[in-house]
């Protein structure tokens, strides 16, 4: 059992595999009310669609109830309340806190004062550990293994918490070659035919001080049907989503496109994680 889930740095291979085994069992056998009577609190100081709603769906499918906020505008943060005070209060209202915040290190700060486990649902450009569990589950489903493969990551490498969290965790597996490409400074096309997995991330515009730089990066890559031709037929294109122009809708129907399938795994993987943090297994 893990309590706080703040960073992927302390993940072990065997724990990840247990989360995946439980996720697969939930998909196969359906959900039972293992979290009946529990309250999950979601504190989202930054926008989210998939992460918050998949945690919420997972909690409700397991019989828990959910309360929280999805933007700071309706909270006392706008009155100047500190993160620490907000978290101290929320600790009284539920059994676990799922939190997203624009500042790197905020989840760790929250865990210092919370009286209940904290799950980091993204802290600035730093970490997004539940996404990593989901991405690894997706890779396993997509290519059948977590060892001996090549992953090409294309996009805003510098600001992507998804890339940061996944990249360190992949070191737990054997013979994984990682190619991280910022398309503004390096051409990704010569690498397309080597990859078993291609992770495409959007430009994290909200983390740029110079919006012109964000636009330059955004305009430097767009996966085309011609790019898909160059990929292995068994390759899978994944993305945490949302997408903007980098993943045009005209590639959605190619066999390599796997990002919507990936998003569907969010509920069982986050369900398995909630169960683990709350001591069900
Ligand atoms: C990602 C995030 O918030 O870091 N989205 C997600 O959780 N599915 C990626 C992104 O916003 O680009």
- Tell me the pLDDT tens digit for each residue of 211-260: 999 999 999 999 999 999 999 999 999 999 999 999 999 999 999 999 99
Q: What predicted TM-score, i.e. pTM, was given to this entire model?
A: 0.97
CA distance 209 to 39: 38
- Residues 84-124 have pLDDT tens digits of 999 999 999 999 999 999 999 999 999 999 999 999 999 99
Q: Check whether residue 139 and residue 101 sit in a common domain.
A: no
Q: Is residue 98 part of a domain?
A: yes
Whether 97 and 134 share a structural domain:
no
Question: Domain total for the chain?
Answer: 2
d(CA 42, CA 231): 39
Q: Does residue 3 lie in a domain region? A: no
In a domain, 209, yes or no: yes
Q: 1 lies in a domain?
A: no
Query: Biggest alpha carbon distance in the chain?
Result: 54
Q: Which atom of ligand 1 is nearest to the CA of 100?
A: 3
Which residue's CA is the closest to the ligand 1 atom numbered 8?
240
Residue 196 lies in a domain: yes
Which residues are part of the catalytic machinery? Answer: 50-51, 79, 100, 128
Question: 243 alpha carbon to ligand 1 midpoint, in Å?
Answer: 9
Is 228:256 a contact under the CB 8 Å cutoff?
yes
Residues 100 and 181 in one domain: no
Give CA–CA dist 100/48, Å, rounded.
8
24 with 113, same domain: the answer is yes
Domain membership flag for residue 240: yes
Same domain, 135 and 234: yes
Q: Which residues constitute the domain of residue 100?
A: 8-128+266-277
- One domain, residues 134 and 169: yes
35 and 67 in a single domain? The answer is yes
Instruction: Please state the length of the chain.
Output: 281
- Among 47, 50, 51, 107, which residue has the most ligand 1 atoms within 8 Å of its CB, making it the best to mutate? 51
Residue 2 lies in a domain: no
CATH number, residue 191: 3.40.50.1370
pLDDT tens readout for residues 111-165: 999 999 999 999 999 999 999 999 999 999 999 999 999 999 999 999 999 999 9
Locate all alpha helices (DSSP H) within the chain, ordered by sequence.
Answer: 13-29, 50-61, 83-91, 106-113, 129-143, 161-169, 211-218, 225-230, 259-264, 266-277
At residue 153, φ and ψ (nearest 5 deg) are -110, 125
Cα 130 from Cα 271, distance rounded (Å): 10
- Looking at the fold, whether 167 and 218 belong to one and the same domain comes out as yes
Domain match, 12 and 67 both: yes
The residue whose CB lies within 8 Å of the most ligand 1 atoms, and thus the one to mutate among 49, 126, 242, 269, is: 242
CA-wise closest residue to 132 among 158, 163, 102: 163
Q: How far, rounded to the nearest angstrom, does the alpha carbon of residue 128 sit from its chain's CA centroid?
A: 5
Domain co-membership, 212 together with 152: yes
Residue 19 inside a domain? The answer is: yes
Query: Is 139 in the same domain as 248?
Result: yes
Distance 84 CA to ligand 1 centre (A): 24
């Amino acid at each position: 059992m893990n309590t706080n889930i703040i960073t992927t740095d302390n993940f072990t291979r065997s724990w990840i595999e247990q989360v995946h085994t439980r996720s697969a069992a939930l998909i196969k056998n359906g959900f039972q009310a293992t979290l009946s009577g529990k309250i999950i609190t979601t504190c989202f100081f930054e926008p989210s669609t998939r992460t918050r709603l998949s945690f919420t769906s997972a909690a409700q499918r397991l019989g828990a109830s959910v309360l929280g906020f999805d933007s700071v505008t309706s909270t006392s943060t706008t009155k100047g309340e500190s993160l620490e005070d907000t978290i101290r209060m929320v600790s009284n209202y539920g059994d676990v806190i799922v939190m997203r915040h624009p500042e790197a290190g905020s989840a760790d700060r929250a865990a210092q004062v919370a009286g209940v486990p904290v799950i980091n649902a993204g802290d600035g450009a730093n970490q997004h550990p539940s996404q990593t569990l989901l991405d690894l589950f997706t890779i396993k489903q997509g290519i059948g293994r977590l060892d001996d493969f090549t992953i090409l990551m294309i996009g805003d490498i510098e600001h992507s918490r998804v890339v940061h969290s996944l990249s360190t965790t992949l070191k737990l597996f054997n013979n994984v070659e990682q190619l991280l490409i910022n398309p503004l400074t390096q051409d990704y096309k010569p690498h397309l035919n080597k990859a078993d997995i291609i992770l495409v991330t959007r430009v994290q515009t909200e983390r740029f001080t110079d919006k012109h730089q964000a636009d330059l990066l955004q305009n430097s890559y767009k996966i085309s049907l011609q790019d898909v031709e160059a990929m292995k037929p068994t390759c899978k294109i994944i993305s945490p989503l949302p997408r903007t122009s980098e993943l045009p809708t005209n590639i959605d129907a190619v066999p390599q496109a796997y990002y919507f399938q990936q998003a569907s795994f969010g509920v069982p993987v986050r369900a398995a994680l909630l169960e683990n943090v709350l001591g069900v297994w």
